[in-house]
Amino acid sequence: MQTIITTDDTSAINTRDRGLNYGDGFFTTAKVSAGQVEHWQYHKARLIECAERLAFPAINFIELEQHIKTAITGCKLNVLKVVVTRGEGGRGYGLPQHTHLTILITVSAFPQNYSALVKSGVNLALSPIKLASQPLLAGLKTLNRLEQVLIKNAMASQQCDDVLVLDHQNNVIEASAANVFAIGNNTLYTPSLEQCGIKGVYLQSLCDKLAVEFKHVSLNELTQARAVFICNSLMGAVPVNRIEQHPFNVEQSMRLLNELLAKEAKC
């Protein structure tokens, strides 16, 4: 069973909800364009994977998709967020015997700066916050995002558009709210997400178009790439203009990516 709460709903979330108390849940954030959710099949797959790996009951997508359709009616360019919690119940951390999901649907304004960043590229600094390893949660977009809160807080005092985040072995993992990928010698690679980090929807869609290698990436290797991008489901692929003091050519980066996509399209 599940209860769905939408943006205009006056229903209150119970103070005993496990999402509030333990971060026991997951979410996805999608771009809405002309009344349609972009990459919905990938967002749906993410929700299904999160539910399975976290031992949640199956989501009723027929009901959920109907609520989403109603919520985004008339939307031209917006952000859809779907949050799923395990609801109430259980003793302490223990799971409830019968789970009644709480699902929150919100629609908000689209960030105005994203289109400009695609053209100008992003300047990246190095975050002083490092990600902890937890392979059981790696790749999932769970509600436990305190690391990202600390990263964003530290970023406020850094002169940059975004930051690169490393793990405690000094491997590059991701940006503050985006994946990272790079182009080498006509190859495309991205950091391994086996121990930590989130596998984003846009990155997954890119993997379905191009051969993408997941591997351990050092900061030095990344700065030696021909082109570097950050990406998520809202802004798509955004070229990196600079990592710390190392510059990249944004026009060349976009040309290299477009060449790879065009080459794959012909195959």
**What is residue 3's predicted lDDT score, i.e. its pLDDT?**
78
Q: Is 76 a catalytic residue?
A: no
* Residue 10: predicted pLDDT: 57
Please give the sequence-ordered ranges of beta strands (E in DSSP) within the chain, or none if there are none: 2-5, 25-33, 36-37, 77-85, 101-109, 122-126, 162-166, 172-175, 179-183, 188-191, 212-215, 227-232, 236-243, 246-247
- 213 catalytic residue (yes or no): no
Question: 5-56, pLDDT tens digit by residue?
Answer: 776 665 778 889 999 999 999 999 999 999 999 999 999 999 999 999 999 9
pLDDT value of position 7: 63
The per-residue pLDDT for 112 is: 86
- pLDDT of 130: 98
Whole-number percent of the chain with pLDDT over 70: 97
Catalytic one of 28, 29, 102, 190:
29
Given the residues 141, 190, 199, 223, the one annotated as active site = 141
**Residue 121 identity (one-letter amino acid):** G
What is the sign, positive or negative, of the torsion defined by CA atoms of 40, 44, 45, 49? positive
Backbone angles phi, psi at 59, to 5 degrees: -80, 140
pLDDT, tens digit, 9 for 90 and up, residues 140-191:
999 999 999 999 999 999 999 999 999 999 999 999 999 999 999 878 999 9
Q: Which of 38, 44, 102, 174 is catalytic?
A: 174
Distance of CA 26 to the CA centre of its chain: 11
Torsions phi, psi for 32 (to 5 deg): -105, 120
- Give pLDDT tens digits for 70-120: 999 999 999 999 999 999 998 889 999 999 999 999 999 999 888 888 888
Structure tokens at 229: 């991008």
* pTM for this entry: 0.93
141 catalytic residue (yes or no): yes
- Provide the 10 A C-beta neighbour count for residue 168: 11
